[in-house]
């Protein structure tokens, strides 16, 4: 039958108590990828993940955001004209059961009074396949406020669009970006899979099996200059990162091999190192137990509360 979980359940309360002094040592900062790697090496990945989770919730300027979201009631609606464009994950058409198609998010957004639309990007596509589709979707929103919700590769494409095509979109009406389990600077898993000649050969073979261009796969590595270049986020655009923080015992079965591949590098969601999945400055809402597929019994209520908070969120000046 094989191993169902990476590890058995643990006492998360005791782990949090052990990790709290480590989280406190960051003194109100969100730890970096390097700090989390060092912490993983000194202790283990579960303590490092819990310390990241606690540090994010308590970080200067972020604690008030997390508490405000938690205090929102579920089911609030808006009568403002808001269109949410959802940029889906890779393989969302082949595996809708994963949730990368954004259908759950769209349903919740509509229940809140938002006009939610999933942008029909190429399911196995790369950046250049999708950018014209995203630009057109934005141009098709003729009036009102626009919110962006990016899932996985969608975050990389959104950042690339802002760098290369910002003059083609109604940027002044785009007020909020939700980066949910995204890879705004690329995926560390891709780096590992392309890290040697043997691994590159295996990845080429894998791309043939999954019918994805090897070039497109490589585009989502963190060394892609299109994702590493400078990007000044528009001043009025509010950024909300929503990120899973799974312990070893939480990782969904099909994500376990990927999680293990990144394990020695630090806390990860099975695709990207947690600190590298964030776009900062911006708010961060961490979800303990969710991996890159961003599933769990708490996800729906969190989304309702996030949208309710965003309805009342003060604009950036």
CB atoms within 10 A of CB 84: 25
- What ranges do the domains of the chain cover? 12-312
- What pLDDT does 211 receive? 94
State pLDDT tens for residues 107-127. Answer: 999 999 999 999 999 999 999
CB 268 within 8 A of CB 247: no
* pLDDT 10s digits, 263-301: 999 999 999 999 999 999 999 999 999 999 998 889 999
Q: Does residue 58 surpass a pLDDT of 90? A: yes
Radius of gyration of the chain (CA): 19
pLDDT of residue 3: 77
The whole-number pLDDT of residue 297 equals 87
* pLDDT given for residue 313 in this prediction: 76
- Give the model's confidence band at 229: pLDDT under 50 very low, under 70 low, under 90 confident, else very high: confident
Q: How confident is the model at residue 150 (pLDDT cuts 50, 70, 90)?
A: very high
User: Which helix (H) or strand (E) covers residue 202, if one does?
Assistant: helix 197-210
pTM: 0.95
Q: Tokens for 252?
A: 């969904």
pLDDT at 4: 81
CA 74 to chain centre: 22
Give the residue from 316, 309, 314, 317 showing the smallest Cα distance to 66: 309
Residue 231 scores a pLDDT above 60: yes
- 12-312, what's its fold? Rossmann fold (3.40.50)
Three-state DSSP at 184 gives coil
Percent of the chain with pLDDT over 70: 98
**More confident site: 294 or 179:** 179
Q: What is the mean pLDDT of residues 137-158?
A: 97
Q: In sequence order, what are the residues at sequence separation of 6 or more whose Cβ sits closer than 8 angstroms to the Cβ of residue 156? A: 127, 182, 183, 184, 185, 186, 219, 220, 227
pLDDT at 189 over 60: yes
């Amino acid at each position: 039958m094989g191993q169902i979980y990476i590890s058995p359940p643990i006492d998360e309360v005791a782990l949090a108590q052990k990790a709290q002094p480590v989280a406190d040592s960051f003194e109100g900062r969100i730890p970096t990828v390097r700090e989390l790697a060092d912490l993983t090496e000194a202790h283990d990945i579960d303590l490092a993940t819990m310390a990241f989770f606690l540090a994010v919730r308590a970080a200067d300027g972020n604690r008030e955001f997390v508490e405000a979201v938690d205090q929102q009631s579920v089911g609030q609606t808006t009568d403002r004209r808001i269109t949410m464009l959802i940029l889906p994950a890779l393989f969302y058409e082949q595996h809708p059961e994963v949730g990368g198609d954004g259908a759950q998010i769209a349903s919740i957004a509509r229940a809140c009074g938002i006009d939610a639309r999933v942008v029909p990007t190429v399911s196995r596509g790369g950046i250049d396949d999708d950018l014209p589709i995203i630009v057109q979707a934005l141009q098709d929103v003729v009036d009102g406020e626009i919110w962006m919700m990016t899932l996985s590769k969608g975050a990389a494409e959104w950042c690339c669009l802002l760098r290369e095509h910002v003059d083609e979109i109604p940027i002044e009406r785009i007020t909020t970006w939700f980066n949910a389990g995204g890879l705004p600077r690329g995926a560390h898993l891709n780096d590992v899979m392309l890290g040697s000649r043997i691994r590159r050969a295996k990845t080429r073979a894998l791309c043939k099996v999954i019918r994805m261009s090897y070039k497109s796969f490589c585009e989502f590595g963190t060394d892609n200059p299109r994702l590493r270049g400078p990007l000044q986020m528009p001043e009025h655009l509010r950024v909300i990162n929503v990120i899973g923080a799974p312990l070893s015992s939480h990782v969904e079965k099909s994500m376990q091999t990927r999680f293990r591949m990144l394990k020695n590098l630090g806390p990860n969601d099975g695709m990207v190192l947690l600190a590298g999945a964030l776009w900062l400055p911006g708010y961060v809402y961490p979800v303990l137990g969710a991996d890159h597929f961003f599933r769990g019994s708490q996800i729906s209520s969190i989304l309702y509360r996030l949208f309710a908070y965003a309805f009342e969120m003060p604009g950036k000046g």
